[in-house]
Amino acid sequence: MKKFLIVYWGDAESMKEWQNASEEDQQKEIEARGKWMTENESSFVDQWNPVGVNTRVHNSGEVTAQSNEICGYSVLSAESKENALELLKSNPHTIQPGAYIELMEIMEMEM
């Protein structure tokens, strides 16, 4: 089995829309994501993990806070990229306008 990094993205407009949504609408979306994750949990090495503002460390030693459009990540196990993509087609994250998912194979390296 191969491992894949899934990165959940949402542009500033979709984030604002989420923050301004009613509590009821937010709860519906949370429940849809939870249901999808539960239905597919055997495929995940590491399920949905939200992330905060990133911090950039420069080789000069300077540290800066950077805003980004990353909402979270997961690690998925699948036979192939095609299998992983097929599974992600039903992920409710993409229902939100401006939201999308990126999939990358995690390459195993010997050290």
Is 111 domain-assigned? no
With respect to residue 87, please indicate whether it lies within any of the assigned structural domains: yes
Residue 97 has pLDDT above 90, yes or no: no
Say if residue 96's pLDDT is above 90.
no
Q: What is the CATH number of the domain that holds 15?
A: 3.30.70.1060
Residue 110 lies in a domain: no
Q: Which residues pair with 65 in a beta bridge?
A: 55
Q: Tell me the pLDDT tens digit for each residue of 11-70.
A: 888 778 878 888 998 898 889 988 999 999 999 998 888 888 889 999 999 999 887 888
**SS3 state of residue 108:** coil
Q: What angle do CA 71, 106, 44 make, to 5 degrees?
A: 60
Q: Say how many domains are in the chain.
A: 1
Range of the domain at 35: 2-105
For position 2, what pLDDT does the model report?
96
**Domain-embedded: residue 80:** yes
